[in-house]
Amino acid sequence: MSDHIQVFIGLGSNLNKPVEQLKEAVATLSAADGLKGIKLSSFYSGKPMGPQDQPDYVNAVFQMETSLAPSPLLSLLQKIENGQGRIRARRWGERTLDLDILLYGEQSVNLPELTIPHIGLSKRNFVLYPLQEISPDLVIPQLGTLAELVAQCSLAELRRIEITSSRSLSENRDRSEGKPF
């Protein structure tokens, strides 16, 4: 894909078989017009960031290339979330699927509906550790090197999980090493 922007998409779920939700989202993203999968991190399990009266989350980061501008990309991600049953019941609450644009090339975006780099990225272990797995030399606009951010962010209870590969994922990527998609 020439003249395309490298993006990093955060994926998260803690309802309705979270691993399966992430696998379905990866397949949908991979098939979407204007997107091309590059690398997918391992899946990680961790405590919710918000209210603690909800199940643990499963998270991953997907490195992609896109021809879509930030706002149309956000619209596509929201369409995928809604297609997988996303309901926004409470802030930082449980969800079938959460897709976030973490980084969009080296650009900073400040719109009412979208901030890139993603707000809170520098303090979220469930984003930083998967990012480090697939792009350890990354420099994050306005925030510095990924290595510096990871050094300041505790792993806490975040853990890489072994999952049973679906056919489509196992054919395209070795999840244990963040290999090319």
Q: Is 181 among the domain residues? A: no
| Chain-centroid distance, C-alpha 73 | 13
pTM of the model: 0.88
The tokens describing 159, both together, are 């853990």
Q: Is 83 among the domain residues? A: yes
What is the model's pLDDT at position 156? 87
Residues 41-88: tens digit of each pLDDT: 999 999 988 788 889 999 999 999 999 999 999 999 999 999 999 877
Residues 21-38: tens digit of each pLDDT: 999 999 999 999 999 999
Where in the sequence is the domain holding 27, given as residue range(s)?
A: 5-168
Percent of the chain with pLDDT over 90: 73
Contact 101, 7 (CB under 8 A): yes
- What total of structural domains would you count in the chain? 1
**Mean pLDDT computed over 4-28:** 96
Return the CATH number at 92.
3.30.70.560
Q: Is 72 among the domain residues? A: yes
Residue among 68, 13, 61, 22 at smallest CA distance from 38: 61
What is the model's pLDDT at position 52? 81
Q: Is 49 among the domain residues? A: yes
Catalytic residues: 86, 95, 98, 100
Residue 173 has pLDDT above 70, yes or no: no
Residues 137-162: tens digit of each pLDDT: 999 999 999 999 999 999 888 999 98
